[in-house]
């Protein structure tokens, strides 16, 4: 499947985004270098600018729904869903969704656990874009894509604000294009 390597950001926007990325050592566990997007998102217009770059790269996928991963993926996911006139489906940590839920396991670079989706929202033939703030090892996005496929829905692609290239998470995401706003 085609993999989109680098969206074209103008130099000023790229420098602005990169300069506001904050690294926090040993968070959430020892040995992890956390990439914090909060300072970038705090800048007026930053989210809109990010979505303006990503939207044209995924609009041709003709998605019906964005599956946004808890919790920072909700930010980009909601904005993309709005721009693409698509539904928003929240992929949450256990105990955060009311009513009947479907549960699946995930493993990422520093932990494993379960995620949940409201039962019946992902169904046969639905075209989905999996969205999260960051692509590291790809474990969470991989698990979400596997869940989508288990419901006979289609994974049309993946979108992220930041990709840590050295961890090669995109190698696990083969169903559709992988789009990242920034790389480090």
All domains in the chain, ordered by first residue: 11-183 (3.40.50.2020)
Give pLDDT tens digits for 4-14: 444 445 566 66
Question: Residue 125: its pLDDT value, please?
Answer: 94
106-110, 134-138, 168-172: the lowest-pLDDT one = 106-110
Give pLDDT tens digits for 40-57: 899 898 899 899 999 999
- Check if the beta carbon of residue 77 is closer than 8 Å to that of residue 53: no
The whole-model pTM stands at: 0.91
The mean pLDDT of the chain is 91
Residue 142 has pLDDT above 60, yes or no: yes
Q: Is 132 helix (H, G, I), strand (E, B) or coil?
A: strand
Question: Residue 12: its pLDDT value, please?
Answer: 66
CA angle centred on 136, ends 72 and 56, rounded to 5°: 65
Mean pLDDT value of segment 158-169 = 94
Q: Which of 86, 92, 87, 57 is nearest to 176 (CA)?
A: 57
Q: Which tokens in the block code for residue 53? A: 């770059």
Mean pLDDT value of segment 85-103 = 97
Q: Which tokens in the block code for residue 106? A: 């995930």
What is the band of 2 on the pLDDT scale with cuts at 50, 70, 90?
very low
Q: What is the DSSP letter of 137?
A: S
More confident residue, 114 or 16: 114
Residues involved in catalysis: 72, 109
Question: Residue 9: its pLDDT value, please?
Answer: 56
Q: Is 171 helix (H, G, I), strand (E, B) or coil?
A: helix
CA angle centred on 123, ends 122 and 127, rounded to 5°: 75
Give pLDDT tens digits for 19-38: 788 889 998 889 888 889 99
Burial of 183 (0-12, 13-18, 19+ CB in 10 A): middle
DSSP bridge partners of 23? 35
């Amino acid at each position: 499947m085609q993999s989109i390597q680098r969206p074209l950001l103008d130099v000023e926007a790229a420098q602005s985004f990169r300069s506001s990325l904050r690294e926090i050592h040993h968070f959430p566990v020892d040995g992890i270098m956390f990439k914090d997007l909060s300072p970038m998102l705090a800048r007026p217009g930053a989210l809109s600018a990010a979505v303006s770059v990503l939207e044209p790269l995924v609009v041709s996928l003709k998605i019906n729904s964005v599956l946004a991963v808890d919790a920072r993926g909700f930010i980009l996911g909601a904005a993309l869903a709005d721009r693409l006139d698509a539904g928003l489906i929240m992929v949450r940590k256990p105990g955060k969704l009311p009513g009947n839920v479907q549960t699946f396991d995930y493993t990422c670079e520093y932990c494993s656990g379960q995620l949940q989706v409201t039962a019946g929202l992902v169904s046969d033939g639905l075209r989905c874009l999996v969205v999260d703030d960051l692509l590291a090892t790809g474990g969470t996005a991989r698990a979400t894509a596997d869940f989508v496929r288990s419901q006979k829905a289609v994974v049309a692609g993946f979108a992220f604000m930041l990709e840590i290239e050295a961890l090669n998470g995109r190698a696990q995401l083969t169903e559709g294009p992988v789009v990242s706003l920034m790389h480090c």
